[in-house]
Each structure stands twice: as C-alpha cells, then as structure tokens.
Copies of this chain bind each other. A is one copy, B any other.
C-alpha cells in the first residue's frame, strides 16, 4: 500500500496530489485526456516526492522490459566489443538498455545462457553463436525477437559481414601487386566465418587460376599466426592472407624476428581491421569488418520488429579493403627456409568471430 518499501510509489503520489493512481499513471505516461490543472498537480507532487515509476512493475504489466540481451562468445575479442558497442549505442538512442552475456566460448553452455538472458529481455542479439546448427535453429525459434550476427540461420533474418567477398578482395589486392604464390593462414574449421573465407578462396581460384593459394591451418590468435609463419616461409609464398588481424600480427612478429622484410620480401594482410591494425609495424593491410554497423543494424532489425514491421531479408555488409604498409608489390624471391622460427607466444583476448 505504498510505504512497504522505502521507495515512494504511485499511491504516495496519488495521495499527495489528491487523485487516483490511475490518473498519476496517465500523467506519468503522457497520456492525453487529463485535466491540465490536475496533471500539473500530479507532476508537482511526483517531482517533489522524487517519484520514479518502478520499471520492474511496468515491465510486468506492459509485457516489455525496454531491454535487449546481447550474447557474445568473448568480451575480450575486439570484434565482439565492437558489436556490443554498436548495439548498445543504437539501442540507447531509442531508449533501450542492453544486458550483456559472455559465454566464454563455451558452445555447450551457450544455449542455456541465451535462454536465460532472453527471459529478462524483449529480444536478443546473438553474436557469432558457437552452438551447433541444429541447436541454434531450435533455440532461435523459441527466442523469437532475435537477430543473429555473422551466422546464417534458415528462416530468420541475419546480419553478417561478407567474409567470402572480403577475402577475395584481399586476394585480388595481392594478385594485382603481382603475387602468384600465396598462403592462407586459416582459422578454426568450426568457425562459420572461416568457412565463408574458404568459399571465397574457391571463388578466387576459379577466377584467377594463375595464382596459387595454399591453405595452412593456423588458428585465430597472435600465437597461432606466429607459429604459422615458418610454414609460410618454407612454402616460398610471397604473400600471406591471415584469418584475422591477430594472426596477421603474429605472422608479422615472427617474420620480423627472422629478419624477413615486410612487405619487401613477403606481404601480409589481415582481416577485421581491429582498432590496432593501423598501428602495427608495418601498418596492416586488411579488410575492415564494420562491426559497429553490424551491431547497429542488428538493433534496427529489432526496433523494426518492435514497431510491428515485417522482418526483412538478410543483410550482408561488404568488408572494405584497407591498404596499408604491410602489402606491396613482389620484389624478390625469399630464400628457401632456414629455421623453424616459432616466434612469440603472446596471448590476447581475441580470436574467432
């Protein structure tokens, strides 16, 4: 009846203003059809009591929380940080808040986490979900207002970056520079976006049969890149396309340690354009994935759904080639391998996306 908790409730305001709770509610929600004088009295009472409608109670009766969940595999990954930021900023503009959940790359725990967080929200954004396709498809059905970033799910609209086209741009860039023997330092085979990249590799192979592209299994981290560098050297390739910028940085570091000049002897390109890609030595040529936009777009889909609009089709954002100093024309042929050169083993919270 009002004074149960320390908070001032709608009844307190109603009493102070000498009206009913209904009227206070109407005034607080700006609903038309309230006598101006009364409304003013209510507003005065409300502000003098410092009344703030309890969002929880509103949510319960309204059936919406004004909150959406964003689930990411790893908050330390720049890619997901960017998506989270994009969603958060866009949602905030429309008065929505974001509940964030980090699944710690645990594909098995993912579904439970998603369901749990979804229950407290009006919708959920799944960033590069790791769960198996069948699980994902089933889960998504129960999540309804949901948008998936960077993973195709039949039936539900998704927003993704076009990794397939992006890698082709990178390959073409190197081919144009005269490279004819390249290596792709691949990511995890279980990565959906790596599959897209490999599809791009195939596209490219058809279009440019004169360019040879070897694939070496690397991974998604700096250490993986460093480890893969030796294979690159042995292969005699003049250019390497890394799964992502982190891997590229690992390659860069290992190459530098072996005294191999970039891009004079070997060109190195990454993928993603993480915030620090511009600051490596040499600055990294890469394909920029507009993670912020992906997040923003994800929000727009949700906002549209909330507004009762029909779901649109999938959106594919094309990565943008950013040519920097790490790639250049073919000059010399590197000398056939010397050592096994492992390189640094640093670990940074980033990786697959």
Identify the A interface with B (CB < 8 A): 5, 52, 54-57, 59-60, 63, 65, 67, 75-76, 81-82, 84-85, 88-89, 92, 97-102, 104, 115, 117, 119-120, 222, 249, 253, 256, 275-276, 278-281, 346, 348-350
Structural contact, A275 and B348, CB atoms closer than 8 A: yes
Give Cα A55–Cα B117 distance, bound, in whole angstroms.
10
Q: How far is the CB of A13 from chain B (nearest CB, A)?
A: 16
Give Cα A96–Cα B7 distance, bound, in whole angstroms.
23
In the complex, what residues of B have CB within 8 A of residue A276's CB? 276, 279, 348
In the complex, what residues of B have CB within 8 A of residue A54's CB? 119
Chain B CB count within 10 A is highest, among A5, A63, A76, A275, for: A275
Structural contact, B100 and A98, CB atoms closer than 8 A: yes
A–B complex contacts, Cβ < 8 Å, 22 sampled: A52-B119, A55-B119, A55-B120, A56-B59, A60-B60, A65-B120, A75-B89, A81-B81, A84-B100, A85-B349, A88-B100, A97-B99, A98-B99, A98-B100, A98-B101, A253-B279, A275-B350, A276-B276, A279-B280, A279-B346, A279-B348, A281-B281
Closest to A250 in B: B279
Select which of B102, B249, B346 is within 8 A of A92 by beta carbon: B102
In the complex, what residues of B have CB within 8 A of residue A81's CB? 75-76, 81
Structural contact, B52 and A56, CB atoms closer than 8 A: no
Give Cα A88–Cα B101 distance, bound, in whole angstroms.
7
Q: How far is the CB of A102 from chain B (nearest CB, A)?
A: 5
Select which of B57, B84, B101, B349 is within 8 A of A275 by beta carbon: B349
Q: How many copies does the complex hold?
A: 2
Structural contact, A279 and B249, CB atoms closer than 8 A: yes
Give Cα A84–Cα B82 distance, bound, in whole angstroms.
14
In the complex, what residues of B have CB within 8 A of residue A65's CB? 56, 120
Structural contact, A97 and B89, CB atoms closer than 8 A: no
Closest to A278 in B: B346
In the complex, what residues of B have CB within 8 A of residue A279's CB? 222, 249, 253, 276, 280, 346, 348
Select which of B67, B76, B346 is within 8 A of A99 by beta carbon: B67
In the complex, what residues of B have CB within 8 A of residue A100's CB? 84, 88, 97-100
Give Cα A84–Cα B92 distance, bound, in whole angstroms.
17
Select which of B63, B99, B120, B253 is within 8 A of A5 by beta carbon: B63
Structural contact, A120 and B60, CB atoms closer than 8 A: no
